[in-house]
Amino acid sequence: MEQLNKIELRGVVGMVRVRTVGDRKVANFSLATSRAYTKKDGSPVMETEWHTVVAWEGGLITDLTCIDKGAKLYVCGRMTYRKWTGNDGQDHYDSEVVAAKIEMINEALTGQIL
């Protein structure tokens, strides 16, 4: 059986930090995805989830400077999980999306691969 670790998200960028590690750039950003539905009583509900994304420059990702707060993006990648111990001695867990492909979503740039 072939195993698969793939996630696809479309959402709006929140916090962004681009930095250089060695000779490559890396972007760490948050991406908000929303889901709208109606309860049984007819009242509307909007749920928003925040995802942590890491994107390394190279391959299908060539321009990290286009990732700005408020930008609408399509992100395709894989999930990764990390465990670390804080200064307080407690174990902490993080999950993040490691992006393999990012596309801008707007009228002028639909389908542009970063």
> In this predicted model, what pLDDT tens digit does every residue of 36-69 receive, in sequence order?
999 999 999 999 999 999 999 988 888 898 899 9
In this predicted structure, the answer to whether residue 107 has a pLDDT above a threshold of 80 is no
| pLDDT of res. 108 | 53
| pLDDT of res. 43 | 94
pTM score over 0.85:
no
Please state, as a whole number, how many other Cβ atoms lie within 10 Å of the Cβ of residue 96: 17
| pLDDT of res. 111 | 53
The domain at 7-104 falls in which architecture?
A: Beta Barrel (2.40)
CB contact at 8 A, 6 and 24: no
**Distance spanning both ends of the chain, measured CA to CA:** 33
- Domain extent listing, the chain: 7-104
Q: What is the H or E stretch that residue 27 is in?
A: strand 24-38
